[in-house]
């Protein structure tokens, strides 16, 4: 099928590459011209292990093309996916400005298209957005009627950064929210080759499934973090407890890795947006309020542990791992940001290292020192904080830490090899 995708970020480009892998022809539209040119040259706009190869494969087969031209994209496709960002506003509510702009541009492009066209939101938007606001924007601007002249659907994305294309190609489920049966049928046909259960729902149910899933996972992480804090006091290994829990099919082992709190481009903003919706509807959000409060406290723990050992003022502190998690260069809402801010507040000299995210973190903190290797960051350091579970940190041994001035190692994520490194303290182990 012919597909256009608005927003060539982590979700948009991964969607395009996944669909191209299944032989569909994809046009990516992005407002960022550099991104568009890079994609056409085979340069991935972000780091993900499989993306460079998948992009090369799709370009070689002429199944992907990037442009800034909406009209070309809509005219030459049957389905348009919206994959633009939906960040948080300062008050935690959702910022729909990228969606509004995309809707206007698609509607203008649809004006002159005579055949039926499906518009499907893949961005994470609150229940009621597709039918309540997005439909009106499209109808007003295009002069066409949703469900008759064009189709409207909402199919949330559940991929994990670090495994984006892989996850897109092997989803646990595909959720298709539809305004009209015809658009649902078109999407189901697109996903025919995917080996996953397909669930068809209303638009607002699909929107809620995404929020419910992320809020539940954030709650699970927060639960194990708090339990980890207690286990540490009692001399119990929370990872062993989690393993024991995870064998229970009702619980499952995923998202039970205790640590320094959740960050990233999805959990914090999605939980905050859902809480805003609870408040707007005058319903209690006690569980999710507690999740956000607990996570804020958890993010502070690693520097508190450090301060109990040394006064960070004037000390060299190595921060290993800047991305919000391993295998990505994405630093959006990374816990490392909170930690570096806190270290700077205490006048520490921060030496930061990440295998892939130094460049992105430099845009946020241009005034700290970035190292090209863990050893460079560790040299003469008074303490080391591990903030992301990159595989290469598992290779570090006592000999690597021997270059430190003072061997204080605090893990925010459990990754160091205990048989190779001694004297490690964890946030909650």
Active-site annotation, residues: 266
Q: With contacts defined by CB under 6 A, name the span among 6-14, 137-145, 221-229, 291-299 that binds ligand NAD.
A: 6-14
Using rule CB under 6 A, residue 101 touches ligand NAD: yes
Q: Which stretch binds ligand NAD (CB under 6 A): 4-12, 127-135, 254-262, 367-375?
A: 4-12
Identity of the residue, 157 or 226, whose beta carbon is nearer to ligand NAD in the bound complex? 157
Cα dist from 127 to 117, 123, 282, 383, whole Å: 23, 12, 15, 46
Please identify the residue of the shown chain whose CB is closest to the bound ligand NAD.
9
Q: Does 262 bind ligand NAD (CB under 6 A)?
A: no
Q: How far is the CB of 161 from ligand NAD (least distance, A)?
A: 4
Least Cα distance to 362 among 410, 354, 335 occurs for 354
Cβ pair 4, 76 in contact under 8 A: yes
Residue span binding ligand NAD (CB under 6 A) among the ranges 2-10, 201-209, 281-289, 406-414:
2-10
Parallel/antiparallel/unpaired status of strands 150-154 and 174-178: antiparallel
Taking the C-alpha atoms of residue 38 and residue 28, their distance in angstroms, rounded to an integer, is: 12
Using CB under 6 A, which residues numbered 109 to 168 contact ligand NAD?
A: 123-124, 157, 159, 161
What is the closest distance, in whole angstroms, from the C-beta atom of residue 123 to ligand NAD in the complex?
3
Binding flag, residue 5, ligand NAD (CB under 6 A):
no
Torsion of CA 5, 11, 14, 15, to 10 degrees: -40
Closest separation between CB of residue 388 and ligand NAD, Å? 15
Between residue 161 and residue 220, which ones bind ligand NAD under the rule CB under 6 A? 161
Contact assessment for residue 67 and residue 56, using Cβ atoms and an 8 Å cutoff: no
Give Cβ neighbours of residue 235 (< 8 Å, ≥ 6 apart). none
What string marks each residue from 23 to 52 as x (binds ligand NAD by CB under 6 A) or -?
------xxxx--x-----------------
> Binding to ligand NAD (CB under 6 A): which residues in 274-313?
none
- In the complex with ligand NAD, the residue whose CB is nearer, 169 or 416, is 169
Query: How is residue 201 written in tokens?
Result: 């729902």
Beta strands 369-370 and 409-411, pairing class? unpaired
Residue 229 interacts with ligand NAD (CB under 6 A): yes or no: no
Closer CB to ligand NAD, residue 161 or residue 411?
A: 161
Q: Which of 232, 235, 240, 239 is nearest to 258 (CA)?
A: 239
CA geometry: angle 276, 278, 284, nearest 5 deg: 125
Closest distance between ligand NAD and the C-beta of residue 276, in Å? 15
CB of 318 to ligand NAD, least distance (A): 28
Over the window 57 to 96, marking each residue x when it contacts ligand NAD by CB under 6 A and - when it does not, the resulting string is: --------------------------xxxx----------
Choice between 273 and 384, CB closer to ligand NAD:
273
Count of residues binding ligand NAD (CB under 6 A)?
A: 26
Q: How far is the CB of 102 from ligand NAD (least distance, A)?
A: 4
Q: Say what the alpha-carbon torsion angle 405, 408, 411, 412 is, to the nearest 10 degrees.
A: -90
| CA dihedral (51, 52, 55, 57) positive or negative | negative
CB of 111 to ligand NAD, least distance (A): 17
Encoding tokens for residue 357? 């995210």
Which CB atom, from 31 or from 89, has the smaller least distance to ligand NAD? 31
Distance separating the N- and C-terminal Cα atoms of the chain: 51
User: Which positions lie near ligand NAD, rule CB under 6 A?
Assistant: 6-12, 29-32, 35, 83-86, 98, 101-102, 123-124, 157, 159, 161, 265-266
């Amino acid at each position: 099928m012919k597909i256009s995708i608005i927003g060539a970020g982590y979700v948009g480009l991964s969607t395009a590459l996944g669909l191209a892998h299944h032989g569909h022809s994809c046009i990516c539209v992005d407002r960022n011209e550099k991104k568009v040119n890079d994609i056409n040259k085979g340069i991935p706009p972000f780091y993900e292990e499989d993306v460079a190869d998948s992009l090369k494969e799709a370009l070689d087969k002429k199944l992907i093309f990037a442009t800034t031209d909406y009209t070309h994209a809509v005219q030459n496709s049957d389905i348009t996916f919206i994959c633009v960002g939906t960040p948080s506003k300062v008050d935690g509510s959702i910022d729909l400005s990228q969606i509004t702009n995309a809707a206007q541009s698609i509607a203008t492009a649809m004006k002159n298209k005579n055949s039926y066209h499906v518009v499907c939101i893949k961005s994470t938007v609150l229940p009621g957005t597709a039918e309540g606001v997005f439909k009106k924007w499209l109808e007003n601007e295009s002069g066409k009627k949703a469900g008759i002249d064009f189709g409207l659907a909402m199919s949330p994305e559940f991929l994990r950064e670090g495994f984006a294309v892989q996850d897109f190609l092997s989803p646990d489920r595909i959720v298709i929210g539809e305004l009209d049966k015809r658009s649902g049928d078109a999407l189901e046909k697109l996903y025919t080759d995917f080996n996953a259960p397909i669930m068809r729902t209303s638009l607002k149910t699909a929107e809620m499934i995404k929020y419910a899933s992320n809020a539940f996972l954030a709650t699970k992480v927060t639960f194990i973090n708090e339990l980890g804090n207690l286990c540490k006091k009692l001399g119990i290994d929370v990872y062993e407890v989690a393993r024991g829990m995870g064998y229970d099919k009702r619980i499952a082992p995923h998202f039970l890795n205790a640590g320094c709190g959740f960050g990233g481009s999805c959990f914090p903003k999605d939980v905050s947006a859902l809480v805003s919706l609870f408040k707007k509807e005058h319903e209690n959000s006690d569980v999710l309020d507690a999740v956000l409060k607990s996570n804020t406290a958890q993010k502070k723990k690693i520097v508190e542990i450090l301060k109990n050992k040394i006064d960070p003022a004037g000390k060299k502190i190595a921060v290993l791992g800047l991305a919000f998690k391993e295998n990505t260069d994405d630093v959006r809402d990374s816990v490392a940001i909170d930690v570096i801010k806190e270290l700077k507040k205490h006048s520490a000299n921060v030496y930061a290292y990440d295998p892939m995210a130094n460049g992105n973190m430099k845009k946020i903190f241009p005034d700290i020192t970035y190292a090209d290797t863990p050893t460079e960051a560790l040299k003469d350091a008074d303490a080391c904080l591990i903030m992301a579970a990159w595989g290469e940190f598992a290779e570090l041994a006592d000999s690597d830490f021997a270059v430190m001035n003072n061997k204080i190692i605090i893990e925010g994520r459990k990754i160091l090899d205990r048989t190779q490194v001694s004297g490690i303290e964890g946030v909650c182990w």
